[in-house]
């Protein structure tokens, strides 16, 4: 009888009860009805236990870092940086919107923050440039789902916490799928540009720009170090496939020095082919864009855990906003703390309630029943993956990604690991699918945020977003049936924990475990 809490939960949710209360009331009521009062105390004790977690501390810190960056004027700099690169293309501001979402994803990891911050800047600009308001709101909502896919990602932190996976592995696995979503949306905009006569544009570079001396020198040094790091990554990738050993000692120092000198002379040459205003716009984007580099670099090198990286991101965001850009006052900072605290409290309370809900799922036998039903549909893993994508897409229409992951992850994850899907691969499938659900009618959260920002009806935006949703669905199926897309980066970074004697395909797609 206890298993009836699942239909009760859905019924309570459908009448408009907030998710956190539905998560606690439905199982609590059924436990009380069945006379298991002891389980009732365990249920509500798990609300606190579900929040009391060191890896989960990364969530509020990443939220705070994103809020500091946004209030510190970083959003405007990212938009100007994107306009300088993409503004000259047909449908240029729509392309700028997508590129800005890709860049902003590395700062906030939140689709809602992306829609709110970029939408308030770009939707009025696109409307002024000749785009319809519904199109501007639709592309803003569609591109905002890139935020939780490219690291740092809040929902991947939640998945890793619930399922006991490596946060670093999930972060690495999300890089290529997030970029692939962005490229797909850009291709769709380009295809729509001629058919729907989207406005022509020109490269937007504001004239007579200035930059503070400290920011000038910081950007000059950092961009050379970044390019040296990119060259080193390419060099190591080539030497890895060629079977050449990694340089050690003074050989390593000499190699890095040569790459740094090459990077310097490359940018000296580049100065001769671009305008001074274009150079300043790019320099203004360098310092803010170090945030994802610091986060991912620190995790890759192994000097920081994701939680420690989140605190470093907050410190860097404060340093840049207060002392370098001087765009954030201490009075603003207290408001930032308040907004971040409220957002973090709501998310963590949701996580705690969902963990308590998961406890009842485990004791009720619902997981076993669900596994029997799913495995009874087909013995072909590819068909099961197709069906589970449909299920997750429908769930994402009505339920936020965080609660959906906590509720369904422990039920579905072990099923697909048992049929041979790598746990990190399934994590990416589930995370990307539910993230796209944030922009899917009828209950997609970012649709409502985009509606608020643009003052356009949700129904109108929902029709306009359909071509972009189609692109994102195609990407979901690509990463589902081609595991190399998401698994290559964590494999090369050695975050999958595979034994050195097994091959690439055996690592990323292990197959069913032996009986």
Tell me: the pLDDT tens digits for 92-114?
788 888 888 888 887 777 788 78
Task: Read off the pLDDT band of 485 (50, 70, 90).
Answer: very high
CA 384 to chain centre: 25
Q: What is the pLDDT of residue 138?
A: 92
Decide if 429 contacts 479 (C-beta within 8 A): yes
pLDDT tier at 3, thresholds 50, 70, 90: low
Q: What is the mean pLDDT of residues 33-50?
A: 74
Residue with the bigger pLDDT between 472 and 280: it is 472
How would residue 185 be classed by pLDDT, with cut points 50, 70 and 90? Answer: very high
Mean pLDDT confidence for 485-489: 90
Render 473-498 in DSSP notation, one character per residue.
Answer: HHHHHHHHH-THHHHHHHHHTT-S--
The stretch 363-377 carries a mean pLDDT of 73
- DSSP output for 245-273: PPP-HHHHHHHHHHHHHHHHHHHHHHTTT
Confidence of residue 366 (pLDDT cuts 50, 70, 90): low
Q: Are the CB atoms for 445 and 452 separated by under 8 Å?
A: no
Backbone angles phi, psi at 152, to 5 degrees: -80, 140
What pLDDT is recorded for position 465? Answer: 92
Q: Among 412, 438, 413, 411, which Cα is nearest to 423's?
A: 413
Tally of CA atoms within 13 A in the half-sphere of 201 that contains its CB: 27
pLDDT of residue 209: 74
**For residue 373, with 0-12 CB atoms within 10 Å meaning exposed, 13-18 middle and 19 or more buried, which class applies?**
exposed
Name the residue among 52, 8, 19, 2 with its Cα closest to residue 354: 19
Does the pLDDT value for residue 495 go beyond 60? yes
- Per-residue confidence at 400, pLDDT binned at 50, 70, 90? confident
Residue 472 pLDDT level (bands cut at 50, 70, 90):
very high
Q: How confident is the model at residue 468 (pLDDT cuts 50, 70, 90)?
A: very high
Check residue 200 and give its pLDDT.
66
DSSP string, 66-103: HHHHHHTTHHHHHHHHHHHHHTTSTTHHHHHHHHHHHH
Confidence check: pLDDT of 88 > 80: no
pLDDT at 418: 84
Q: For residue 463, what are the CA distances in angstroms to 78, 244, 472? A: 28, 54, 15
pLDDT band of residue 206 (cuts 50, 70, 90) is low
Task: Provide the terminal-to-terminal Cα distance of the chain, rounded to the nearest Å.
Answer: 33
The pLDDT tens digits of the residues spanning 44-66 come to 777 888 788 888 888 888 888 88
The whole-angstrom separation of Cα 415 and Cα 145 is: 27
CB atoms near residue 347 (< 10 Å) = 20
Q: What is the reported pLDDT for 230?
A: 87
Where b means 16+ CB within 10 Å and e means fewer, 195-231 reads: eeebeebeebbeeeeeeeeebeebbeebbbebbbbeb
How does 247-284 read in b/e, with b if 16+ C-beta sit within 10 Å? Answer: beeeeeeebbeebbeebeeeeeeeeeeeeeeebbbbbb
Q: Is the pLDDT of residue 317 over 70?
A: yes
Distance CA 248, CA 432 (A): 39
Mean pLDDT of the chain: 83
DSSP classification of residue 512: S
Contact assessment for residue 100 and residue 122, using Cβ atoms and an 8 Å cutoff: yes
The residue ranking higher by pLDDT, 139 or 276, is: 139
> Which of the four pLDDT bands, split at 50, 70 and 90, describes residue 512?
low
Separation CA 74–CA 78 (nearest Å): 6
Spatial distance between the Cα atoms of 479 and 214, rounded to a whole number of angstroms: 43
* Confidence category of residue 425, pLDDT binned at 50, 70, 90: very high
pLDDT at 42 exceeding the cut of 60: yes
Share of the chain above pLDDT 70, in %: 93
Q: What does the radius of gyration of the chain's CA atoms come to, in whole angstroms?
A: 24
- Our CA angle for 11, 15, 18, nearest 5°, is 95
- Give the separation between CA 241 and CA 248, rounded to whole angstroms: 18
How many residues appear in the chain? Answer: 515
Of 365, 372, 413, 366, which Cα lies nearest the Cα of 392? Answer: 413
Q: 514 pLDDT exceeds 70?
A: no
Question: Which 8-state DSSP code applies to residue 457?
Answer: -
The set of residues, in sequence order, having a beta carbon less than 8 Å from that of 432 and lying 6+ positions away, is 149, 174, 177, 181, 475, 476, 479
CA distances from 225 to 13, 105, 266 (A): 51, 22, 12
- Reported confidence tier of residue 263, pLDDT bands at 50, 70, 90: very high
Q: Quick check: 192 pLDDT over 80?
A: yes
> DSSP letter at 211?
-
Cis (ω within 30 of 0) for the bond into 232?
no
pLDDT at 207 over 80: no
What DSSP assignment string belongs to 373-417? HHHHH-S-HHHHHHHHHHHHHHHHHHS-HHHHHHHHHHHHHHHHH
Task: Pick the closest to residue 147 from 257, 54, 69, 56 (CA basis).
Answer: 69
Q: In this predicted structure, which of 50-59, 285-294, 494-503 has the lowest mean pLDDT?
A: 494-503
Q: What's the token pair of residue 392?
A: 């997750």
Query: pLDDT at position 229, please?
Result: 87
Instruction: Please tell me the least confidently modeled range out of 257-266, 370-379, 461-470.
Output: 370-379
Average pLDDT over residues 199-224: 78
Q: What average pLDDT score do residues 248-253 get?
A: 84
Q: Mean pLDDT throughout 127-139? A: 87
Q: Would you state the pLDDT for residue 431?
A: 92
Mean predicted confidence (pLDDT) in 121-130: 82
């Amino acid at each position: 009888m206890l298993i009836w809490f699942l239909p009760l939960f859905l019924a309570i949710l459908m009448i408009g009860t907030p998710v956190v209360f539905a998560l606690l009331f439905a199982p609590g009521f059924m436990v009380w009805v069945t006379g298991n009062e002891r389980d009732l105390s365990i249920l509500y004790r798990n609300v606190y236990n579900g929040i009391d977690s060191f890896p989960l501390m990364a969530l509020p810190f990443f939220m705070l870092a994103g809020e500091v960056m946004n209030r510190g004027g970083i959003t405007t700099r990212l938009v100007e940086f994107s306009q300088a690169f993409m503004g000259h293309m047909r449908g240029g501001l729509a392309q700028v919107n997508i590129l800005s979402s890709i860049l902003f994803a590395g700062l906030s990891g939140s689709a809602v923050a992306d829609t709110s911050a970029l939408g308030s800047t770009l939707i009025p600009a696109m409307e002024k440039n000749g785009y319809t308001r519904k199109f501007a709101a639709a592309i803003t909502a569609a591109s905002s789902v890139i935020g939780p896919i490219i690291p740092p990602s809040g929902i991947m932190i939640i998945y890793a916490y619930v399922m006991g996976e490596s946060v670093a592995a999930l972060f690495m696995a999300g890089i290529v799928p997030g970029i692939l979503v962005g490229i797909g949306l850009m291709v769709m905009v380009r295809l729509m540009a001629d058919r729907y006569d989207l406005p022509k544009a020109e490269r937007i570079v504001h004239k007579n720009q200035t930059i503070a001396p400290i920011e000038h020198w910081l950007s000059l040094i950092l961009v050379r170090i970044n390019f040296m790091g990119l060259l080193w990554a390419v060099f190591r990738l080539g030497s890895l496939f060629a079977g050449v050993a990694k340089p050690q000692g003074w050989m390593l120092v000499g190699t890095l020095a040569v790459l740094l000198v090459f990077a310097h002379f490359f940018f000296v040459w580049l100065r001769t082919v671009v305008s001074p205003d274009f150079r300043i716009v790019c320099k203004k984007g360098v310092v803010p864009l170090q945030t994802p580099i610091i986060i991912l670099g620190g995790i890759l090198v192994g000097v920081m855990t994701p939680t420690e990286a989140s605190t470093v991101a907050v410190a860097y965001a404060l340093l840049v906003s207060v002392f370098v850009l001087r765009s954030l006052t201490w009075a603003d900072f207290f408001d930032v703390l308040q907004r971040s605290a409220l957002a973090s409290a709501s998310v963590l309370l949701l996580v705690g309630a969902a963990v308590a809900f998961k406890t009842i799922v485990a004791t009720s036998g619902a997981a076993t029943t669900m596994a029997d039903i799913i495995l009874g549909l087909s013995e072909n893993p590819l068909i099961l993956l197709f069906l589970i994508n449909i299920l997750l897409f429908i769930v994402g229409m009505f339920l936020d990604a965080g609660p959906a992951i906590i509720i369904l992850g422990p039920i579905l994850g072990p099923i697909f690991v048992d049929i041979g899907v790598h746990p990190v691969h399934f994590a990416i499938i589930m995370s990307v699918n539910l993230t796209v659900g944030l922009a899917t009618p009828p209950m997609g959260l970012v649709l409502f945020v985009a509606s608020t920002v643009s003052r356009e009806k949700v129904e109108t935006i929902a029709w306009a977003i359909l071509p972009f949703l189609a692109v994102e669905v195609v990407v979901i199926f690509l990463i589902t049936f081609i595991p190399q897309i998401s698994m290559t980066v964590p494999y090369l970074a050695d975050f999958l924990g595979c034994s050195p004697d097994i091959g690439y395909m055996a690592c990323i797609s292990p197959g069913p475990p032996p009986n």
